[in-house]
Structure 1
Amino acid sequence: MAENKIALEGISKRFGAMQVLDGVNLAIEPGESLAVIGQSGSGKSVTLKCILGLIRPDAGSIRVDGEEIVGLRGRALDRVRAKFGMLFQGSALFDSLPVWRNVTFALTHGQQSDAKEMRRIAEENLERVGLDARILNLRPSELSGGMQKRVALARAIAPRPEIIFFDEPTTGLDPIRADVINDLIVSLVDDLGVTALTITHDMASARKIAHRVAMLYRGRIVWSGPRDRLYDSGNPYVDQFVQGRAEGPIQ
């Protein structure tokens, strides 16, 4: 069996009196797309930040390609992060930069570089997400929300990462534009052969883009299974969450 691309074992994190993560166990195989669902405050974003090395867990292990990353710093952490791409909630584009510089930002780290080559790379990646060269010189503020999300997606894939993290990729989009983004994520994950981890509240998105879904509740994974079982999980926490019921074990 292939080694897991990402493996979390016993990850715990407390902020003051609040236990946010309480022994999270999660594994993602190479080329797999996993969606993590759960209420606000359930620990989804903290889990993601622990993997990215932005937060250090109080206990537990995080391995990427078999390498322990908890405690890595400096160049060692940068080397692992070079495997990552990220689509931020709200896109997080730089308004002061034109689209082509936004798309190639991870390649240049904001420094001056071969502008002609960077524009070519930006155009190639924009084409992958259904945008053309006419927007290369525009500022993000001149684009619609859906177009901004596509530009952010082009930026995430430009360095050809091995792993892409999607933070609420459909937030703020209407159902049609959200479905366009979901379709793009599915095609990019398949075409590029990347491993994907998505945190989302959007059940339609989770069912479409993920091979497998896991649910976080009070800092623990309470269920994990194939996306086709999301509405037939037999788990009372998952059933209540996906059906949006007030009554149930989730308080």
Structure 2
Amino acid sequence: MTSPAKISLRNVHKAFGPKQVLQGVDLDVAPGESVAIIGGSGTGKSVTLKCVLGLLNPDQGSITVDGVEMTDASQAERDAMLAKTGVLFQGAALFDSLSVWQNVAFGLIEGRGMKPRDARDVAIARLADVGLGPEIANMSPASLSGGMQKRVGLARAIATEPEILFFDEPTTGIDPIMGDIINDLIVKCTRELGASAMTITHDMASARKIADRVAMLYQGKIIWDGPVSEIDQSDNPYLKQFVAGDIEGPLELDLKHL
């Protein structure tokens, strides 16, 4: 890469008992770049994301953010990394006990000590950024549709104007039209912030729209990594099977729960 990576993973391993989930993941995300990690269920996408966020500790390997090694980071270093990140969780993960605007403003109030009145104004502005009006600010998250909850989650992720954004299966659980709206909003917000983004998804339509680059994870390793524009020209049989959604091919499908 021509510039130092914003996020860099080298030889990352993670096991749960005898199950080896990550077996040497190597991946870079450049400043301002959007990278999607694709792969089937159980391939380790979520584990990779949790290792970067510090929710899991890798058994082996290096993870750096802005050149700082995170696998043995101090609490202060970890807090500094988290302070410049925003996360859109798979199920939005909104706090039921807080109103919509309080959810959006959570990082501003709890993380930055902003006065609630000022934070509410910021929250209203961020809700507008994702196409939601001020009339929902005092509503409970439980009263919103799944798509609206996703948008509130996105508003919360961008409220602190982070340098890094993480998206965990951003279109799961919503219909294709709302999924496309969420994808468009992710592109808009990421570009306006100039943020680096890491997305994990099994949704190829989402990956094609929001990512500059795609990395495919299979059996604990990145087996293909390239620009979105090269996906359909690739002769990698694993990628071709995944993109086509074919049952037949080299991918070993986990059919235990079907």
The equivalent residue for 1:7 is 8
The equivalent residue for 1:162 is 163
* Rounded Cα–Cα distance in structure 1 between residues aligned with 2:128 and 2:177: 20
The equivalent residue for 1:132 is 133
Q: Kindly tell me: are residues 134 and 194 of structure 1, through their superposed partners in 2, closer, same or farther at Cα, counting changes over 3 Å?
A: same
Q: C-alpha displacement at 1:222, in angstroms?
A: 0.2
* Rounded Cα–Cα distance in structure 2 between residues aligned with 1:213 and 1:76: 29
Q: Kindly tell me: are residues 205 and 23 of structure 1, through their superposed partners in 2, closer, same or farther at Cα, counting changes over 3 Å?
A: same
Q: C-alpha displacement at 1:112, in angstroms?
A: 8.8
The equivalent residue for 1:19 is 20
1:138-183 per-position Cα deviation (integer Å, ceiling 9, x unaligned): 0011111111111000000001111000000000111110000000
Q: C-alpha displacement at 1:66, in angstroms?
A: 1.1
The equivalent residue for 1:67 is 68
Note if contact 1:86-1:156 (Cα within 8 Å) is conserved in structure 2.
yes
What SS does structure 1 have at the residue aligned with 2:14? Answer: strand
The equivalent residue for 1:186 is 187
The equivalent residue for 1:224 is 225
* Greater than 4 Å deviation, 4+ residue runs: 110-113
The equivalent residue for 1:103 is 104
TM-score of the two chains, using structure 2 as the length reference: 0.94
Note if contact 1:61-1:68 (Cα within 8 Å) is conserved in structure 2.
yes
Note if contact 2:109-2:116 (Cα within 8 Å) is conserved in structure 1.
no
The equivalent residue for 1:246 is 247
What SS does structure 1 have at the residue aligned with 2:152? Answer: helix
Q: C-alpha displacement at 1:115, in angstroms?
A: 2.6
What SS does structure 1 have at the residue aligned with 2:57? Answer: coil
Q: Does 1:76 align with 2:93?
A: no
Q: C-alpha displacement at 1:184, in angstroms?
A: 0.4
Partner letter of residue 175 of structure 1? P
Name structure 2 gaps, 5 residues minimum.
253-258
Q: C-alpha displacement at 1:110, in angstroms?
A: 8.6
The equivalent residue for 1:35 is 36
Q: C-alpha displacement at 1:111, in angstroms?
A: 10
- Equivalent pairs counted in the alignment come to 251
Note if contact 1:56-1:71 (Cα within 8 Å) is conserved in structure 2.
no
Partner letter of residue 123 of structure 1? I
Note if contact 2:109-2:115 (Cα within 8 Å) is conserved in structure 1.
no
Note if contact 1:8-1:25 (Cα within 8 Å) is conserved in structure 2.
yes
1:58-94 per-position Cα deviation (integer Å, ceiling 9, x unaligned): 1111111111111124222111111211000010001
The equivalent residue for 1:215 is 216
Q: Which moved more, 1:215-224 or 1:230-239?
A: 230-239
Partner letter of residue 48 of structure 2? T
TM-score of the two chains, using structure 1 as the length reference: 0.97
* Rounded Cα–Cα distance in structure 1 between residues aligned with 2:217 and 2:240: 13
Note if contact 2:163-2:195 (Cα within 8 Å) is conserved in structure 1.
yes
Note if contact 2:7-2:63 (Cα within 8 Å) is conserved in structure 1.
yes
Partner letter of residue 13 of structure 2? S
Name structure 1 gaps, 5 residues minimum.
none
Note if contact 1:163-1:195 (Cα within 8 Å) is conserved in structure 2.
yes
Partner letter of residue 130 of structure 1? G
Q: Kindly tell me: are residues 196 and 246 of structure 1, through their superposed partners in 2, closer, same or farther at Cα, counting changes over 3 Å?
A: same
* Rounded Cα–Cα distance in structure 1 between residues aligned with 2:184 and 2:191: 11
Q: Does 1:93 align with 2:83?
A: no
* Rounded Cα–Cα distance in structure 2 between residues aligned with 1:110 and 1:28: 25
Aligned-residue Cα RMSD (Å) equals 1.4
Note if contact 1:99-1:151 (Cα within 8 Å) is conserved in structure 2.
yes
1:87-127 per-position Cα deviation (integer Å, ceiling 9, x unaligned): 00010001111111000111222999633212101111111
